[in-house]
């Protein structure tokens, strides 16, 4: 006979205010099988947990139901307490009377009645729960980091320095991400490349890091401790084993007008290119879309090796006897790697400028975005750091910066604050004033959000020391008159209309989710939010984990973030990975499916629908070894416990632990 | 079962309140409902959630069982297409569900009583909307008696009585209402 204990939590006032916890306990005490029911102010506190431990001993409980917050919050806590008193932890379950009840309903009577129902459901379930033992699986102590921005670099270095192998996959020809494009960085104005490139080189030289650039994750199989990842290595047409990165091929390339991604369209690159001087690895790739030979070969339908078009890079390559430029390397290749943990560090994206037509963006060359300003200000940029405007190369004497372009703007689908633009705009005004002493910098802003160590001081310095003029208000229009850009707006503090004749306009555009973040998230079975940023498992308490065990997040892929926050999160993710790798084995949730072999009719419907290929075909033989029949059999190491097989099985011979048909029916009947 | 008697007494005293049972997946909708909670978004209290690992675990018989047990509406909700924690569970659920709903419609059930919604872990507000809308529909439709009307028409009760009177085919187990009977847990 079941002996269930019910423990109802008030959660201070959180539950107690709308749910009469004492009434719930009183009602529960009358349920069949319940031998003990109490309520308490804070069940998760130590005295609260003690109530459970004691009752298990004194009342010889065979099952525990805690009516409190969401199981996603405290199930581990109460299962631990249950196990400490010698009862299998899987015989403890929670009824969610906070998130699903007291916090969402107002009528006390209705909420209490619902709470009683919810407890009754879980009591019926627990009565039918069976003791389970966590499944032990070995851990592959090797990590995959996706994305080679500062987040990925930091995570990879931390894990590798901890002694574990790392596979770093970057989609572009070089690691570095957006940080490599920045000129100076707030709040210290230190040069971005100077602090970043040593790290990039360290990655390339680290004996524990295997770097795949120009590569993407194609497929992910498996689960925590045991992932198998298929990586697409995009064809580079360059043999990296031979290439010395001398640059002769790039100098010889006749295609010279491809807009440079690295310079965000200011300036151009060749078809065979390495994105920037300090690129890691410093090996070029051929961009197949723009290379003359590739285009010609494609037209003819022949492989590029057989084409004789152009070939200037090949001729220029000084490596002998075999050239490093190699048109036989024209097809993507695939590698498969086994890893135990994954860090996703795919960063953010910036919308195309033309998105913001109302500010003349995409129409006037001198309306640029923040990243283009970084390139103009950077010593490695198209102007070698000289402040020259794109249209005519003149030094702009009057620059208008517009903040919150696209951010905090529901109409544009970005209701959120992009977080870093207030700070980088302040930085931009300073960088501008340091270069053009007699220039004038005006900023249109909604609010200045500068919370962070030394941040408020930083933007005030822009105003107080460098004389940036901050105008609170929105810009309604930017248009051209002569060679000036007329910026019309309101200063809401003085209530006056303002019109500024600017030489250049800089838009602090929204930070948006990485293109393809959704697709990657689906491949990894991790969640993303309505803005397509990847979701952490808990916004406060599990900020680097995802809802898929063994997959972690770092950097701006999760939300707009500056470098300090990115690096902190990356180190956090790395330490989570190392924590995981600190043991040889891993205990996994034992909720898996089982087959009743006597009833199985070998229709293989379960095998067809199983997302993991966990269903194997097993032979049943008699003592003499004659085959009696084939049955389905679940590989427990692979099964993830979705229950698809159980719902699909025609002969009802597959059952999922913890969610058996009998249990679900009992729950329904309890309502 | 004693709680049923209690419930019957209560419902006799009060005006009819819709009973909507929701089968939700653990990873998206359950979490979305949690988010509605942490965001303190208020919604109708006439909803009872049964948590399953994935919508793929939902057997159409669960829905029938719910109606048999007096539900006035059934809501099924899980991850958006492509977001299922188990990759493809919700695609299977969707296919199964589409067919099953057609069947329900065929036997004359108003489909507003059986809804499917994608609610992600990020959509607390959507969960509240879905619940409110569902309960509102059911409220307008009134109590669901179709199940028992249909059973009566099928002649099951007469058959059961005959079986109980000593004839019949013996066990009788599992036939009550066409869905498996719940055995007493000891
Ligand atoms: C104009 C501007 C100025 C800024 N100024 C400052 C500043 O002064 N100080 C400061 O602290 N911060 C600044 N920032 C913010 C800073 O750029 C970010 O904090 C930082 O770049 C985040 O790093 P990350 O690695 O998370 O992302 P990213 O830099 O975006 O790197 C992500 C990397 O992942 C790669 N990737 C993406 N998808 C895939 C995939 N599917 N497979 C493989 N690889 C992939 C990308 O190619 C990229 O290399 C500024 C940002 C902008 C836009
Ligand atoms: S886990 Fe949500 S539908 Fe499969």
What ipTM is given for this predicted complex? 0.84
Q: Under DSSP, is residue A386 helix (H, G, I), strand (E, B) or coil?
A: coil
Which chain A residues contact residue B87 at CB under 8 A? 525, 611
β A615-621/A627-634 pair status: antiparallel
Confidence band of B8 (pLDDT split at 50, 70, 90)? low
Question: Is residue A233 within 6 Å of ligand 1 at its C-beta?
Answer: no
Residue B171 has pLDDT above 50, yes or no: no
Q: Is B95 on the interface with A (CB under 8 A)?
A: no
Query: Could you give the CA distance from residue A336 to residue A333 in angstroms, rounded to a whole number?
Result: 10
B81 and B26 belong to one structural domain: yes
User: Predicted confidence band at B179 (pLDDT cuts at 50, 70, 90)?
Assistant: low
What pLDDT, on a 0 to 100 scale, did the predictor assign at position A566?
98
Instruction: Supply the Cα-derived Rg of chain B in whole angstroms.
Output: 18
Each domain of chain A, given as residue ranges in start order, spans 4-127, 248-316, 351-510, 513-580, 590-670
pLDDT mean over A590-599: 94
- If you average pLDDT over residues A183-196, what whole number do you get? 95
Q: With contact defined as beta carbons under 8 Å apart, do A563 and A190 qualify?
A: no
Q: How does the average pLDDT of chain A come out, rounded?
A: 95
Residues 517-546 of A with CB under 8 A from B: 518, 521-522, 525, 527-530, 535
- With 50 as the cut, is the pLDDT of residue B168 above it? no
Rounded to whole angstroms, the Cα distance separating B67 from A525 reads: 33
Same domain as B180, residue B101: no
What does the alpha-carbon distance between residue A72 and residue B29 come to, in Å, rounded to a whole number? 13
Host H or E run for residue A627: strand A627-634
Query: Does residue B56 sit within a domain?
Result: yes
Report the pLDDT averaged over residues A302-328: 96
Q: How many C-beta atoms lie closer than 10 Å to residue B140's C-beta?
A: 9
Is residue A548 a contact partner of residue A526, using CB atoms and an 8 Å limit? yes
> Lowest mean pLDDT: which of A327-331, A501-505, A533-537, B48-52?
A533-537
Q: Are residues B62 and B117 in the same domain?
A: yes
Whether B65 maps to a domain, the answer reads yes
Write out pLDDT tens, residues A480-496.
Answer: 999 999 999 999 999 99
Range from A78-87, A97-106, A476-485, B10-19 carrying the lowest mean pLDDT: B10-19
- Do residues B113 and B165 both lie within one domain? no
**Cβ <8 Å between B84 and A662:** no
Question: In the predicted model, is pLDDT for residue B169 greater than 50?
Answer: no
For the residues A453-464, what does the mean pLDDT come to?
A: 97
pLDDT at B1: 47
In the A/B pair of chains, how many CB contacts fall below 8 A? 163
d(CA B54, CA A278): 48
For the domain A590-670, what is the CATH code?
A: 3.30.70.20
Q: pLDDT class for B180, splitting at 50, 70, 90? A: low
Nearest to A97 by CA among A39, A180, A169, A171: A39
Is B159 domain-assigned? Answer: yes
**Contact partners, residue A244, CB within 8 Å, separation at least 6:** A319, A324
Burial code of B97-108, b = ≥16 C-beta within 10 A, e = fewer?
A: beebbeebeeee
Nearest to A468 by CA among A445, A442, A501: A442
- Closest-CA distance of chain B to residue A613, Å: 12
**Domain tally, chain B:** 2
Residue at B45 is within a domain: yes
> Which residues, in sequence order, are CB contacts of A370 under 8 Å at separation 6+?
A350, A421, A424, A425, A428, A506, A507, A508, A509
Q: What share of chain B is helix, strand, coil (3-state, %, to 5)?
A: 50, 10, 35
A304-313, A401-410, B149-158: range with lowest mean pLDDT:
B149-158
Over residues A176-204, mean pLDDT? 96
Phi, then psi, of A360 in degrees rounded to 5: 80, 10
Give domain status of residue B34, yes or no. yes
Share of chain A above pLDDT 90, in %: 91
Atom of ligand 2 nearest to the CA of B90: 3
The mean-pLDDT minimum among A271-280, A351-360, A601-610, B12-21 falls in B12-21
Q: Is residue B12 part of a domain?
A: no
- Cα(A428) to ligand 1 centroid in Å equals 18
pLDDT over 70 percentage in chain B = 80
Pairing of strands A398-405, A504-509: parallel
Give the 3-state secondary structure of residue A622. coil
- Higher-confidence residue of A220 and A82: namely A82
How far apart are the CA of A274 and the centre of ligand 1, in A? 19
Instruction: Give yes or no: residues B34 and B71 share one domain.
Output: yes
Residues B186 and B108 in one domain: no
**Domain span holding position B186:** 155-186
What local confidence, expressed as pLDDT, does residue B7 receive?
54
Residue A335 has pLDDT above 60, yes or no: yes
* Residue with the larger pLDDT of the pair A10 and A222: A10
What does the alpha-carbon distance between residue B88 and residue A621 come to, in Å, rounded to a whole number?
Answer: 34
CA distances from A502 to A347, A440, A513, B4 (A): 33, 9, 31, 77
Residue B92: CATH number of its domain: 3.40.50
Reported as a single tens digit per residue, the pLDDT across B17-58 is: 999 999 999 988 999 999 899 999 999 999 999 999 999 999
User: 1.10.240.10, 3.40.50.1010, 3.50.50.60, 3.40.50.2300: which CATH number matches A351-510?
Assistant: 3.50.50.60
pTM, 2 dp = 0.79
Mean of pLDDT values over A326-332 = 97
Which chain B residues are Cβ-neighbours of A669 within 8 angstroms? 1, 65, 69, 182
Looking at the structure, do residues B125 and B164 belong to the same domain, yes or no?
no
H helices of A443-562, in order, are 455-464, 517-524
Test site for ligand 2: of B56, B80, B94, B95, most ligand atoms within 8 A of the Cβ:
B56
Within a domain: residue B27?
Answer: yes
Give domain A4-127's CATH architecture.
3-Layer(aba) Sandwich (3.40)
Q: Tell me the best of A144, A145, A148, A149 to mutate to test the pocket of ligand 1, counting ligand atoms within 8 Å of each CB and taking the most.
A: A149
Phi then psi dihedrals of residue A6, to 5 deg: -115, 130
Q: In this predicted structure, what is the pLDDT of residue A411?
A: 87
pLDDT tens digits for range A150-173: 999 999 999 999 999 999 999 999
Give a yes or no: residue B3 inside a domain: no
For residue A27 the two structure tokens come to: 């009602």
């Amino acid at each position: 006979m079941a002996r269930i204990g019910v423990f109802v939590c008030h959660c201070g006032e959180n539950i107690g205010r709308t749910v009469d916890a004492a009434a719930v306990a009183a009602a529960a005490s009358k349920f069949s099988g319940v031998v003990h029911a109490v309520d308490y102010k804070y069940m998760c506190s130590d005295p609260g947990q003690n109530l459970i431990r004691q009752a298990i001993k004194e009342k010889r409980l065979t099952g525990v139901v805690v009516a409190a917050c969401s199981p996603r919050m405290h199930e581990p806590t109460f299962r631990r307490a249950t196990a400490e008193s010698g009862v299998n932890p899987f015989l403890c379950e929670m009824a969610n009377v906070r998130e699903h009840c007291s916090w969402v309903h107002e009528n006390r009577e209705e909420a209490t009645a619902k709470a009683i129902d919810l407890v009754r459901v879980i009591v019926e379930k627990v009565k039918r729960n069976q003791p389970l033992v966590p499944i032990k699986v070995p851990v592959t102590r090797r990590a995959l980091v996706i994305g080679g921005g500062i987040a990925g670099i930091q995570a990879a270095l931390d894990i590798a320095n901890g002694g574990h192998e790392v596979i770093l996959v970057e989609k572009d020809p070089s690691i570095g991400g957006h940080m490599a494009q920045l000129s100076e960085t707030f709040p210290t104005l230190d040069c971005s490349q100077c602090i970043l490139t040593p790290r990039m080189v360290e990655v390339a030289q680290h004996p524990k890091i295997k770097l795949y650039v120009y590569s993407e994750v194609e497929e992910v199989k498996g689960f925590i401790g045991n992932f198998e990842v298929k990586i697409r290595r995009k064809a580079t047409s360059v043999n990296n084993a031979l290439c010395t990165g001398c640059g002769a091929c790039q100098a010889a390339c006749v295609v010279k007008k491809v807009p440079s991604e690295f310079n965000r369209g200011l300036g151009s690159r060749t078809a065979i290119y390495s994105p920037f001087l300090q690129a890691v690895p410093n090996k070029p790739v051929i961009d197949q879309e723009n290379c003359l030979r590739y285009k010609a070969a494609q037209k003819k339908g022949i492989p590029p090796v057989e084409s004789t078009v152009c070939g200037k890079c090949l001729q220029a390559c000084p490596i002998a006897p075999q050239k490093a430029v190699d048109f036989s390397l024209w097809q993507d290749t695939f590698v498969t790697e086994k890893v135990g943990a994954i860090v996703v560090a795919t960063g953010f994206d910036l919308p195309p400028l033309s998105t913001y037509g109302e500010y003349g963006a995409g129409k006037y060359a001198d309306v640029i975005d923040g990243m283009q300003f970084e390139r103009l200000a950077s010593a490695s940029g198209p102007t070698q750091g000289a402040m020259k405007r794109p249209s005519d190369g003149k030094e702009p004497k009057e620059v208008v910066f517009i903040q919150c372009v696209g951010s905090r703007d529901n109409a544009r689908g970005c209701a959120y604050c992009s977080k870093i633009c207030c700070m980088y705009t302040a930085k931009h005004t300073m960088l501008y004033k340091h270069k053009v002493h007699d220039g004038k910098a005006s900023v249109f802003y909604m609010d200045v959000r500068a919370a962070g160590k030394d941040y408020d001081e930083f933007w005030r310095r822009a105003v107080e020391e460098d004389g940036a003029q901050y105008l609170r208000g929105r810009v309604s229009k930017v248009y051209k008159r002569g060679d000036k850009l007329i910026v019309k707006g309101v200063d809401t503090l003085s209530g006056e209309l303002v019109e500024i004749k600017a030489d250049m306009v800089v838009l602090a555009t929204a930070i948006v989710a990485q293109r393809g973040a959704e697709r990657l998230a689906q491949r990894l079975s991790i969640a993303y939010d309505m803005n397509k940023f990847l979701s952490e498992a808990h916004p406060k308490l599990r900020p680097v984990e995802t809802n898929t065990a063994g997959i972690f997040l770092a950097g701006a892929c999760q939300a707009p973030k500056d470098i300090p926050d990115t690096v902190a999160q990356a180190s956090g993710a790395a330490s989570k990975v190392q924590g995981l790798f600190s043991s040889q084995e891993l205990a996994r949730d034992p909720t898996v499916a089982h087959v009743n072999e006597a009833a199985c009719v070998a229709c293989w419907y379960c095998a067809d629908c199983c997302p993991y290929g966990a269903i194997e075909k097993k032979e049943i033989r008699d003592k003499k070894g004659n085959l009696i029949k084939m049955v389905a059999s679940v590989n427990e190491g692979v099964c993830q416990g979705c229950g698809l097989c159980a719902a699909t099985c025609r002969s009802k011979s597959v059952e999922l632990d913890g969610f058996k048909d009998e249990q679900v029916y009992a729950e329904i009947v309890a309502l | 079962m004693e709680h049923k008697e209690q419930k019957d007494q209560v419902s006799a005293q009060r005006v009819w309140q819709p009973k909507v049972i929701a089968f939700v997946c653990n990873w998206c909708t359950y979490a979305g409902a949690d988010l509605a909670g942490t965001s303190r978004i208020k919604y109708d209290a006439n909803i009872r959630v049964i948590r399953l690992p994935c919508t793929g675990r939902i057997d159409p018989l669960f829905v029938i069982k719910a109606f048999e047990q007096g539900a006035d509406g059934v809501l099924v909700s899980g991850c958006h297409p492509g977001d299922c924690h188990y990759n493809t569970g919700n695609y299977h659920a969707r296919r199964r569900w589409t067919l099953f709903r057609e069947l329900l419609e065929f036997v004359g059930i108003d489909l507003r009583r059986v809804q499917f919604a994608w609610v992600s872990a990020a959509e607390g507000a959507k969960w509240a909307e879905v619940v409110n809308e569902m309960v509102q529909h059911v409220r307008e439709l009134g109590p669901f008696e179709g199940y028992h009307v249909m059973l009566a028409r099928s002649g099951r009760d007469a058959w059961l009585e005959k079986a109980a009177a000593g004839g019949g085919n013996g066990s009788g187990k599992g036939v009550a209402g066409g869905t498996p009977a719940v055995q007493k847990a000891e």
